[in-house]
Structure 1
């Protein structure tokens, strides 16, 4: 069972992702509301996969992605962001994201992206 850390500043989005993936054999090991907390939780929990929102307070997802990649260059991070963030998504791929999903998304899209990791 793959362990997942869910990172999003919106509690309803974390809950939504948790509900979607937990019934498909993924274990949610933690949640974070910003990039600073995400890095701490990544080090502590060592998840197999991280779902990472791009736009968050304190530290955005791109900066958190870079820091997580310093901790573990093989980290599997999937970026999740709203429409209109294509340039930032390209930046995320350059920094080492394993994929990206555009909000709003369907459950099948999320499961498909995470199952490939």
Structure 2
């Protein structure tokens, strides 16, 4: 899924500066890279996406994070938004929806 989303972002003219296979690494990568935008999966090993969002936003309140979720995870999406995520995109990814979310979050 990271590869699919990365390809969509690249083909839309965005630069992918880093990837993380779990929430712990996502937080470390944010500290290191300070990206303009993060796309974060909810379901990850070691630290889930909700916990990672909270941790990143505690240290970097200006962080812009879009959550990725599978269909049927509406309760978790609400929790992610309450944790500070700016938007969400549902898997499987739709390129138009991904683009809309990024434009909305980046302003």
Classify the TM-score, shorter chain: over 0.9
Q: In 2, Cα distance between the equivalents of 1:73 and 1:108? A: 28
Answering whether residue 30 of structure 2 is matched by residue 42 of structure 1, we say: yes
**Which one has the bigger strand percentage?**
1
Partner in structure 2 of residue 76 of structure 1: 64
Q: In 1, Cα distance between the equivalents of 2:5 and 2:30? A: 18
Give SS of 1:47's match. coil
Give SS of 1:73's match. coil
| Superposition CA RMSD, Å | 0.8
Deviations 1:59-106 (A, max 9, x none): 000000000001111110000010111111101111110000111121
Structure 1 length as normaliser, TM-score?
0.87
Partner in structure 2 of residue 95 of structure 1: 83
- Unmatched segments (≥5 aa) in structure 1: 1-12
Instruction: Tell me which stretches of 4 or more aligned residues in structure 1 moved more than 6 Å.
Output: none
Native 8 Å contact 2:23 2:44 kept in 1: yes
Partner in structure 1 of residue 4 of structure 2: 16
Partner in structure 2 of residue 6 of structure 1: none
- Unmatched segments (≥5 aa) in structure 2: none
**Which one has the bigger helix percentage?**
2
